[in-house]
Structure 1
Amino acid sequence: MKTKPVLTLEDVKKIAAAAEAEANANNWKVVISVVDDGGHLLWLQRLDGAAPISAHIAPAKAKTAALGRRESKIYEDMINNGRVSFLSAPELEGLLEGGVPIVVEGETVGAVGVSGVKSAEDAQIAKAGIAALGL
C-alpha cells in the first residue's frame, strides 16, 4: 500500500488565514475555498462584499485544480486557444484561472480556489494561502 500526505483541519485553517490576509491587504472582496484531493469542500469563506456567485465559482475552480492536478488556468488557456471540447469534460466546472493545486511530496493533496477579482489576482490569493504551509 502506498501512503501519502493529507490536509488536516489545521492546514486548511492556515491556508484560509493566509489567503484572507492577502485579500485584505489588497482590499479584494473574494470567496476562498479549499478542497481535498477528490475535490470535496473542506473550507468556504466569503469575505464581506464578495459577490454571491463567487461562492459557487471558487469551489468549482478548486475542484478542477484538485481533480486535474494542475492550475485551473491551464484549462482556460486550452479553451481560449481553440480546444473548446474541454467544456464537456466531466466534473470540471471551474475552467477559469484561480484554482491552484496543493502539492506535497509530489502528491496533490487538495487545492485552493478563489473568486471575486481578476483571475490572476484570484490565483495570487490562492498561492499566498498555500505558501502558508511552508512547502
Structure 2
Amino acid sequence: MAAIHRPAHLTHHAAKVASAACIEKSKAISVPMNIAIVDASLYLLHFERMPGAKLTSIDISMNKAFTAAGHRAPTSVYKENVWPGGAAFGLSNSNNGRFMYVAGGIPIVVDGECVGAIGCSTGTPAQDTEVAQAGIDAVMEYVRKRKQGQPKL
C-alpha cells in the first residue's frame, strides 16, 4: 500500500465539457439554469448562469454541488431523512447552512473515486437533476475517450 495517495482530480477542461452538456440539455428542456461544478475539495471550479436563470438559485446550485461532492451522494438521497422525525433531521443546518437536500446535485465518480460534483438549480428538482446528469454523462464520456488515448475534445 502506498504511503501517499494522490487522488484523481477534475480538470477545468472537464468541468467546461460538463457545463457545455448541461447548457445543451437546459436549452433542450427550455429551462435556463445556474450550473455549479466543484472539484473534490468542494470548492467551485466552474460556474455558468444562463440568461433567465433564477438569481436566488445561484447559491442553491453551488450548495448542491458542495453537498454532493462532500457526501459523495446525490442530494436527492436525503429528502426523506431531513424532515422532522427523519434520521438526519437538522442536517440542513450543518456546514453554515450549505447542506442541500433538494435534488439536482450529483457527484462525479471516476474509477470509484469522487472527483467533484455538479449542482444545477432553477427548474423543478427533476429538471435540475436531468440537466446535472447530462453533465455527468459528458464527463464520463470524456474520461472514457481519454482512457482510450483519444485526443482532447
TM tier, smaller? over 0.9
Q: 1:20 is matched by which residue type in structure 2?
A: I
Aligned partners of 2:90 and 2:125: how far apart in 1? 22
The normalised TM-score by structure 2 is 0.82
SS in 1 for 2:95: coil
Question: Which of structure 1's runs of 4+ aligned residues deviate more than 6 A?
Answer: none
Match in the other structure for 1:60 = 63
User: Is the Cα–Cα contact under 8 Å of residues 12 and 46 in structure 2 kept in the other structure?
Assistant: no
Give the deviation of 1:87 after TM superposition.
2.5
Larger radius of gyration: 2
Give the deviation of 1:57 after TM superposition.
0.5
Q: Could you tell which deviates more after superposition, 81-90 or 40-49?
A: 81-90
Deviations 1:13-35 (A, max 9, x none): 10000010000011111100100
Match in the other structure for 1:77 = 80
Q: Does 1:114 align with 2:117?
A: no
Deviations 1:38-65 (A, max 9, x none): 2100111111111101111100000000
- The change in CA–CA distance for 1:27 and 1:63 in structure 2 (over 3 A counts) is same
5+ long unaligned stretches in structure 1 = none
Aligned residues: 135
Give the deviation of 1:128 after TM superposition.
0.5
Give the deviation of 1:68 after TM superposition.
0.5
Aligned-residue identity in percent: 33
Give the deviation of 1:81 after TM superposition.
7.3
The normalised TM-score by structure 1 is 0.93
